[in-house]
Structure 1
Amino acid sequence: MRLGPFGRCAAAMITPFTEDGALDPAGAERLADHLVARGGCDALVINGTTGESPTTSDAEKTALTRAVTSAVGGRAKVVAGVGTADTRHSVELARAAQAAGADGLLVVTPYYSRPTQEAIVQHLLTVADATELPVMLYDIPARTGEGTALTADSLRRLAEHPKIVAVKDCSFDLLKAGTVLADTELAYYAGSDELNLPLLAIGASGVVSTAANVVGAQVRAVIDAFAAGERETAARRHRALLPLVSALTVHAPGTVTVKALFRAAGLPGGPVRPPLLPADEELTARLATALRGAVAQP
């Protein structure tokens, strides 16, 4: 496996809130320590999709970054999401993340205004120029719109920037990913758990995993087996996680389902913010059953 700049197993960490909906920095510290010390994670990606970044304020994003970096104390890389649909705002968030101690930036392609590929490239280059931190591009057209999917040509151009070093890939486009891996030095990270092993097989460096919030050790075990050349073991472990991956993503967003499991387990999480709605009892029970099955696998 290619050694990536942000570890091998990163959790796409939820953002803990108190019961009244405020940011819970103390809970974030406990959760970050748990994911690193016992969850097998060597990186944490915060203020991203699973972290409810559309509904947290700039001040909350900065406070979360400070709390998480303080908690892990260099034991894991902390990558802060700073991408928005506004280039100036993204630059401000990037600088704030650097000041708060982040090790890297996650920058999603700009959404809603439907910029051209050239505009997307210029947006991402501008954010990369704003700090000294390494950048992980976030290619997730299902949430930003098909027109904002990074093309292979755009990725090749962006790879020439010295601070753009990685991609969190949620494009579901293995052809594009394989082509860019062959043509550039960009480190790829699977951003959709069902594609963790397929992307590793074509050269990815690791994962940014929603499932790692609840089964980090099992997600890491897939990566470790693959890295050790134990392909059949990696495939078996990957397949064993798929029922849980399905339960976490098919019936509600990952934020909702992870927080439901955390509530049941007494871990920091708290409520989701509107417009998201909490999981009902039926979904929570289904999630708990899937989780028990995943952790029971050898």
Structure 2
Amino acid sequence: MKITPLDIEGIFGIVPTPAIEGSEHWSVVDSINYDETEKMIRAVMAAGCDMIATNGTFGEGATVTFSELKSFTRCVADVIGGSRPFFAGVTTLNTRETIERGRAIVDAGADGLFIGRPMWLAMDQAAIVRFYQDIAEALPGVPLVVYDNALTFKGKISTEAYVELAAIPEIVAAKHTGGPIAEDMQAVGHDMRVLPLLANWHETAKELPDLARAAWAGSIACAPNAVMRQARAIRDRDWDLANDLGEQFRWAERVMMPGGDMATFMDYSIQIAHCRFKTAGIFDPGPARPPYLFLPDDYREGGLECGRRWAKIEAEFTPAQ
């Protein structure tokens, strides 16, 4: 599937990796719940999700094995059936393994790759650009989405580095978290689609309607119909509804972070995600995988309440059966 930055419009929906019961133990060989995976993907597709991405942070790119990653990718690709772009995550601790996984995941059915840089040691801006240049050279023609998260990857990609990344033909978009998003968007123009967080999308789209034409949504599998309603509101420039939904989405997610500490939240992102997807009720996420198992009680309750809030929002937009 040929994908360009101009094709990146609407919702870049990032989904988790459902686990079977018992997956919290190290001895499980294949932890993927394929039935729940199909159920989840069909739900977000039915709502109209424009693009689907897998195996980011809460999608557990760090906890599934290479074998599981390939079989999960094949399952998702089979369900999507080429109906929309599918970007699979292949973040690793080094360039060569990222390339090895990338080739295998494209062979397994992904249209493109969702890639964060290695994070064992922090990388400076020149190293970040070189990393993505190497990936693109090794995988010519494979669409790439950059995963930019200052907390996860030990630093923010600079605006100057964004300009260099946008010059790489394979890079079509970047999942943007933190930092000067309007400045980054304007710097790259239409050479790369910079994706804001869903809850903030309406503000960026109002300021830069020609550039902010897509957003990333880690909540797509919590409330697919509500998320897609926001996409339509922004497309139609219905700013009153977009503002209202943005506030509702912030209300739902605020409770995930007791004290509002994003850094501490990121330490427990995987475990919290399992809680919120469980109570949102679209599918059964199953248990978290090792080593990310322990979760303080206040964060557990915050995650469960987040899912309940998403379920309440989703109920307003679910089509009548």
Q: TM-score of the superposition, structure 2-length normalised?
A: 0.82
- Tell me the equivalent position of 1:17: 19
What is the deviation of 1:236?
1.5
Structure 1: give runs of 5+ residues left out of the alignment.
none
The answer to whether structure 1 residue 260 and structure 2 residue 275 are counterparts is yes
- Tell me the equivalent position of 1:77: 85
- Tell me the equivalent position of 1:295: 314
What is the deviation of 1:10?
2.4
- 2:7 aligns to what SS in structure 1? coil
What is the deviation of 1:283?
3.7
- The 2-side partners of 1:61 and 1:53 are apart by 8
2:168 aligns with one of 157, 161, 182: 161
Is this contact kept in 2: 1:4–1:187, CA < 8 A? yes
What is the deviation of 1:4?
4.1
What is the deviation of 1:30?
2.1
What is the deviation of 1:17?
0.7
- 1:277 aligns to what SS in structure 2? coil
Structure 2: give runs of 5+ residues left out of the alignment.
24-30
What is the deviation of 1:199?
3.1
- Tell me the equivalent position of 2:27: none
Percent identity (aligned): 22
Count of residue correspondences: 292
- The 2-side partners of 1:282 and 1:133 are apart by 41
- 2:195 aligns to what SS in structure 1? strand
Supply the AA of the counterpart residue of 1:5: D
- Tell me the equivalent position of 1:143: 152
| Gap change, CA 1:262 and 1:158, over 3 Å in 2 | closer
Q: Identify the range of structure 1 (2-11 vs 97-106) with the bigger mean alpha-carbon deviation.
A: 2-11
- Tell me the equivalent position of 1:48: 56
Q: Identify the range of structure 1 (121-130 vs 248-257) with the bigger mean alpha-carbon deviation.
A: 248-257
Deviations 1:47-78 (A, max 9, x none): 11120111111111111111000011122221
Q: TM-score of the superposition, structure 1-length normalised?
A: 0.88
1:66 aligns with one of 74, 79, 96: 74
What is the deviation of 1:153?
1.4
- The 2-side partners of 1:161 and 1:87 are apart by 17
Query: What is the RMSD computed on CA atoms of the aligned residues?
Result: 2.5
| Gap change, CA 1:266 and 1:293, over 3 Å in 2 | closer
Alignment of structure 1 residues 87-102 onto 2, 5 Å: 87-102=95-110
- The 2-side partners of 1:75 and 1:270 are apart by 27
- 2:216 aligns to what SS in structure 1? strand
Is this contact kept in 1: 2:5–2:172, CA < 8 A? no
| Gap change, CA 1:189 and 1:249, over 3 Å in 2 | farther
What is the deviation of 1:3?
7.4
- Tell me the equivalent position of 1:200: 205
- 2:39 aligns to what SS in structure 1? helix
- The 2-side partners of 1:100 and 1:270 are apart by 24
Q: Identify the range of structure 1 (46-55 vs 260-269) with the bigger mean alpha-carbon deviation.
A: 260-269
What is the deviation of 1:284?
5.6
What is the deviation of 1:291?
2.5
Deviations 1:127-159 (A, max 9, x none): 12222311111111111112xx21111111121
- The 2-side partners of 1:32 and 1:292 are apart by 17
- 2:13 aligns to what SS in structure 1? strand
Supply the AA of the counterpart residue of 1:143: T
